Structure 1
Amino acid sequence: MKKSASWAPAPNLKVLAVERNETDWTVSVNGQDPATCPLCGIRSISRHSSYRRTLHDLPAQGTPVTVRARLTRWRCRNDQCERRIFGERLPRLAAPFARRTARLAGIVRLFGHGAGGRPAERLMARLGMPVGHTTTLRDVKRSARTHADPALVRVAGIDDWAWRKGMTYGTVIVDLERRRVVDLLPDRSAASTAKWLKGRPEVEVVSRDRAGLYAEGAREGAPQARQLGRFEAPIREAPVPAVKDETGPELSVAQGPGGRSDTAEHRHFARRARRAAHQALFDQIRAHYDAGKTVTAIARELGLGRRRVDRWVRLIVLPERNSMAPKASTPAYHEAFLSRRWAEGTTAVRRLFGDIRQRGYTGSYSHLARFLAPWRNIARPLDGMSGRPPSPSNYETPVPSPTLDPMTGRQISPLTAAALCVKPRGQMTPRQILIVDALKAASAEFATMRQLAIRFRGLLRGGPLEKLDVWLRDAHLSGIYAMRRFVRTLRQDIGAVRNAVLEPWSNGQTEGQINRLKTLKRAMYGRAGIELLRARMIPLHESDLHRE
């Protein structure tokens, strides 16, 4: 068996000494072979001088290792070469001008990419590789800039992500075939999306969400690509009004009055549903309390917090939700005048806008139009101020009692019912099957909506386009407000819907990458710029991973 062998950090180096200091190991080496000019490639044997180079290497037994190399400067004897003197290179050990060996630099990038700056600094210091967090992040960003992914993107998934929710957004682009992030864009616009797609003419499929910006950007940047709409989320969104109907009035799932169902009307019905649900729950708590039950027993039976029950049993009537006093810049400030003019038959927004401008209104035309939209969609204006929902006594539809869990006796939450509305029966637990049966028995609308949701789920997993047309007709004729609203949304982008049915791709992988992006952004406390966020989202290049 071989008991001793010569070792060197690189093939062209000779180890002179290995010393153990108080803080690290020091390996002294010398260069041996003549070098090649990096500019012209001609080998030189003419020495000029020598110089020392210090490199940090992988640790030994948890102790840092320092390589001190004495290298040679050579003269280039090629008269046609612009370089006269060059230093000896160590291509197998370290990059030019680097202070760390290639294998240590790869480990640093791997830690920085996976853990971030300060966590990587703490971990590497414990492992015998002391590197600062700023140096680590700088290497990660440099690697992302210099190692561009040469692979072609044939199927691109595009979606937005929030810098600050509700304020500023960016765009993430994912290669759905390789399931990896390709790029991050600092904004959410059709121009930036089109510019990115124009630089990649090989894109054949663009899977996007329903945002009109991305549809426009895909048409401009990749007219040859087929667009796929992302419709997994609306399937979950659509049952929500019907689910809330289990604990509130049926007004939330009925068709909008007058056949019109815009955003203002949808919000109006949602507010009425929430108010009626709270009133029904308040009446139930009062009934139990008047029957002699204690606050703790009521909270346990209804699945509510004890503090909430204790606060409500002290009330005789459920108070209205507090609202701010209207200002002159809001239409609610002139609600009495608007109501009188509306009753006289003046319903043109432009004319009403001119009237209240003379009375001191300083708001915008669009604000007034949004305020008056529910008045146009229902037979009379809303009660109260600034779109406040009418009192429960004005509802023509009786408030149903909440559906209870057959096993626990507690009220079924809307989120639970929404998740079970789209879940196949074969994937449910016995308890979930009992909950679904109870919801279907308590609400015919829930049963209809679940049937439509399961059918649409099957269409997205592959089905003929004829079944899509049948589903759209059945959903529209169901009479459920949420489904009719969903159908109208699908028909606005019917081409992308049809492609989504025919193609096997979806934006599920993109959504998963957005979850990862949110985790990284929060771990960096929101202080990371787009360059660092892109560097950590894009996978490391194969050359950055040391495998020796």
Structure 2
Amino acid sequence: MTARESGPSPANSTWTARPHAGFFYATSVEELLAVTLSRASMLDKHKPYLNQRFNAGCIDAATLTTEIREQGYLQPTHRLSLHPAIPRQPESPDPAPVPPKINGVTIWIVRNPENLTDEDEQRLNAILMRCPELEATRRHVGAFVTMIRDLRGDRLREWIDHVGADNLPALRSFTTGVKQDLAAVTAGLTQPWNDGPIEGTVNKIKIHKRTMFGRAKIDLLCKRILLLAT
């Protein structure tokens, strides 16, 4: 016969001297819960009053403690804070939204408005409403990006005049540099050709040069470049 079969059962004997024995002799979870939930508390007789005060709008533990102590309650205040009617801590306010980073705002400004998500567009509009200069900057940058995409170099002079009409030092400095080589910039915004393939070839040559650095001379580099071209 096992200890479970021969030992006392918490349902018909007292076992408070050895409370851990209840976990051994218990035959179900419900049996343990029945013992736990049946324990009396000094706060039980005050619970109806606490529920009444809570429903009336009083949720301050210190105030309620003072009131029930006048009725005979002698336990510490932290016991009262465990009552279901008393919130353990005040509800925390909603966290403030994280402000967007500068790089993110820059991407929103130069990107085509049709490619922005609804959330990004709303956040960008909220920023532009607070800064008229930034709103003007977005308008000019968008017009310049349109010239690049649609190859409308014929609008460059008009765009420069519009920028000069606004007090935007950064864009004015940019237009000053454009005026110094206006013909080349206009051609770049008009002709369908670009130096992309040349830049790609230069990058390939640099990669081959770095892989040989310190281990070969210019003659081997020339041979590798020629073999790559063929």
With normalisation by structure 2, the TM-score equals: 0.47
Pair member with larger Rg: 2
Instruction: Select the structure that is richer in strand.
Output: 1
Tell me: higher relative CO, structure 1 or 2? Use CA pairs within 8 A at least 6 residues apart: 1
With normalisation by structure 1, the TM-score equals: 0.22
Instruction: Select the structure that is richer in helix.
Output: 2
